[in-house]
Amino acid sequence: MKPIVVVTGKNGQLGWELQQLASSFQDQYEFVFTDRTMLDLGAPESIAPFFNSVKPQFFINCAAYTAVDKAETEKELALTINATSVSEIAASCAKYQTRLITISTDYVFDGQGKAPYATDTPTNPVNYYGYTKAIGEQKALENNPNTVIIRTSWVYSTHGNNFVKTMLRLMKERPEIKVVADQQGCPTYAADLAEAIMQIVNASVKGNNRSGIFHYSNTGTTTWFNFATAIKEMAGLTCSVLPIPTEAFPTPAKRPAYSVMDLQDIATVFGLELKEWKNSLRKCMQLLHD
């Protein structure tokens, strides 16, 4: 019997990338990809019956309430999906000896750091989305010791809505765009994160079941402005990209000013080869172009 790997959020950026990758692992694992019709994280009571019928060996939770600004007003739903349901998932994982891999965010940090955040840097979210994800992390670790939390940042893919696709659209429509230049972080190509997740699953099958909090993004540090400029250059577009301060682009949810994460732990513990952000952006841009 092949180990059963459940992946939630199959139509999201990361879930979709895992679906693309799954064909390379079909001999080793039986994948069950879910969307909200199969497992609704807005209804935590549906989680225990799901586990009872599927009894997975691995549960990769890519589903989340990810509308950062909307979360400031849709608080109850954001908390249910990102915290209450993660807590229930972890409790079910403990019951069925399931290894849980659940995805969290750089937005658990307050952005006041000056050097990459270590995995044990205290969390102090500045927006409600970050708060819900921080509670989800806590509950996941409390309820199931066999949990890997992967904090990631600035995720993009060829699939779904993201900064790269929005920039490409705006740069084609307008002669000039303004982009925030005083928030620092690092982009993550969802395809790279999907590969890292499958390496963590493979490591577990070989006996490496290290648990806890890990950070994964591409490597390097950039700003949204520099990210946009790289997108423009790689696409060969002529639109002017102008830097602006955060105050000039008010949003309902505050964003951390500095959100670069230290990636050393995940690379060392699971033997991952990290990827430089511009190289990964180039790969994604190539696929978008093809």
Ligand X SMILES: NC(=O)c1ccc[n+]([C@@H]2O[C@H](COP(=O)([O-])OP(=O)(O)OC[C@H]3O[C@@H](n4cnc5c(N)ncnc54)[C@H](OP(=O)(O)O)[C@@H]3O)[C@@H](O)[C@H]2O)c1
Catalytic residues: 129
Nearer to ligand X, 133 or 232 (CB): 133
Beta-sheet strands, E only, within 40-146: 58-61, 99-105
> What sign has the CA pseudo-torsion 169, 171, 177, 183?
positive
Could you give the 3-state DSSP secondary structure of residue 65? Answer: coil
Nearer to ligand X, 134 or 272 (CB): 134
By the 8 A CB rule, do 10 and 190 touch? Answer: no
# binding residues, ligand X (CB under 6 A):
25
Angle between helices 85-96 and 47-54 (to 10 degrees): 30
Tokens describing residue 67: 């509308």
- Stretch of 22-30, 38-46, 115-123, 139-147 lying at the interface with ligand X (CB under 6 A): 38-46
Residue among 220, 219, 216 at smallest CA distance from 197: 216
Q: Output the smallest distance, CB 219 to ligand X, in A.
A: 16
**136-165 residues near ligand X, rule: CB under 6 A:** 152-155, 160
Rule CB under 6 A: say whether 35 interacts with ligand X.
yes
Rule CB under 6 A: say whether 263 interacts with ligand X.
no
Distance of alpha carbon 6 from alpha carbon 65, whole angstroms: 18
- Stretch of 47-55, 60-68, 118-126, 248-256 lying at the interface with ligand X (CB under 6 A): 60-68
The residue number whose beta carbon is nearest to ligand X equals 12
Nearer to ligand X, 49 or 240 (CB): 49
Rule CB under 6 A: say whether 42 interacts with ligand X.
yes
Nearer to ligand X, 205 or 283 (CB): 283
Within a 13 Å sphere around the CA of 59, how many CA atoms are in the beta-carbon half?
A: 29
List Cα–Cα distances, 104 to 100, 121, 243, in angstroms. Answer: 13, 14, 29
Rule CB under 6 A: say whether 13 interacts with ligand X.
yes
Distance of alpha carbon 236 from alpha carbon 264, whole angstroms: 34
Beta pairing partners, 99: 58
Nearer to ligand X, 77 or 205 (CB): 77
Could you give the 3-state DSSP secondary structure of residue 177? Answer: strand
Rule CB under 6 A: say whether 41 interacts with ligand X.
yes
Which of 66, 84, 132, 158 is in the footprint of ligand X by CB under 6 A? 66
Which of 5, 6, 7, 15 is in the footprint of ligand X by CB under 6 A? 15
Q: Which residues bind ligand X (CB under 6 A)?
A: 8-9, 11-15, 35-36, 40-42, 62-66, 81, 103, 105, 152-155, 160
